[in-house]
């Protein structure tokens, strides 16, 4: 019969070993697919700027204020500009479109819903800007060397997806890509090949003859 003291020591050792094993398995990866669990997320932010407007559009001072705001916001590719104008003045829309066009931006047809109401005699210019990021990256939470599931680690794909989110010119393209016109560009794409094929061989006219003087 085993003594009580030795039995207690053996039970403690077994419990400690079992705890170490379970602790080691706690960080074991479980994603068995080749799809990254961390995916880019696109967030939209709306910035508003109210300008005094009427049926005649924007006066010079309001146009200057709006132009300065566009410069301060660094309006550029990927941004969207829209107008919330209760009077629906064509002159106001034309003035805003002209200022936004300096930055290569077209005015959207429909403005998103923003907080607050547009005061009478004013029009609201809405700048919608998107940003992409990958939440939770980098993720080094899996510290175990054991991988009995043959799974990918939590940090798998973080580098590629984070670089993609940082480099994409228009984050909206991650949600929906640009639509094509349906027109083909075969002639322009094969121009270099046609030029190579139609180029006359260098030895077509024979070798050039040279003479040396005495």
Q: Which residue is it, tokens 């607050």? A: 116
pLDDT of amino acid 156: 92
Structure tokens at 23: 């602790």
Taking only the tens place, the pLDDT of each residue in 88-146 is: 899 999 999 999 999 999 999 999 999 989 999 999 999 999 999 999 999 988 876 78
CATH of segment(s) 45-130? 3.30.1330
pLDDT score of 187: 60
Closest CA to 78 of 207, 194, 165: 165
pLDDT of 112: 92
The CA-CA-CA angle for residues 77, 172, 180, to 5°, reads 85
**Chain length of the chain:** 214
CB atoms within 10 A of CB 70: 22
Q: Tell me the pLDDT of the chain averaged across its residues.
A: 83
- Give the separation between CA 55 and CA 96, rounded to whole angstroms: 14
Token pair of 80 as six digits: 């969207």
Per-position DSSP letters for the chain, written without gaps between them = ---HHHHHHHHHHHHHHHHHHHHHHTT---B-SSS-S---EEEEEEEEEEEE-BTTB--HHHHHHHHHHHHHTT--TT-EEEEE-TT--HHHHHHHHHHHHTTT-PBPSSPPP-SS-PPTTEEEEEEEEEEEE-TT-S------S--TT--B-TTTTHHHHHHHHHH-S-GGGGTSPPPP-S---HHHHTHHHHHHHHSPPTTTT-PPP-----
Q: Mark the ranges of the chain whose per-residue pLDDT is less than 50.
A: 1-6, 16-24
Q: What pLDDT does residue 186 have?
A: 61
* Distance, CA of 73 to CA of 96 (rounded, Å): 15
Question: What are the φ and ψ backbone dihedral angles of 168, each rounded to 5 degrees?
Answer: -65, 130
All residues at 6 or more sequence positions from 70 whose CB lies less than 8 Å from its CB, including other chains:
99, 100, 102, 103
pLDDT of residue 133: 95
pLDDT confidence of residue 41:
95
Q: What is the pLDDT of residue 197?
A: 85
């Amino acid at each position: 019969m085993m003594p009580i003291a030795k039995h207690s020591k053996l039970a403690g050792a077994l419990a400690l070993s079992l705890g170490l094993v379970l602790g080691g398995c706690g960080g074991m990866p479980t994603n068995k697919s080749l799809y990254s669990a961390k995916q880019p997320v696109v967030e939209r932010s709306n910035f508003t700027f109210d300008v005094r407007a009427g049926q005649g559009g924007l006066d010079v001072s309001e146009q200057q204020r709006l132009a300065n705001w566009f410069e301060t916001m660094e309006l550029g590719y990927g941004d969207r500009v829209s107008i919330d104008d209760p009077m629906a003045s064509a002159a106001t829309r034309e003035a805003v479109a002209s200022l936004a066009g300096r930055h290569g931006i077209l005015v959207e047809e429909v403005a998103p819903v923003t907080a607050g109401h547009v005061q009478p005699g004013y029009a609201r210019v809405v700048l919608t800007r998107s940003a992409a990021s990958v939440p939770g990256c980098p993720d080094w939470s899996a510290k175990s060397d054991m991988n009995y599931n043959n799974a990918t680690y939590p940090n798998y794909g973080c580098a590629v997806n984070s670089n993609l989110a940082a480099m994409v010119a228009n984050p909206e393209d991650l949600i929906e890509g640009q639509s094509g016109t349906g027109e083909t560009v075969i002639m322009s794409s094969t121009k270099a090949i046609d030029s190579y094929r139609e180029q006359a061989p260098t030895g077509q006219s024979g070798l050039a003859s040279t003479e040396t003087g005495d």
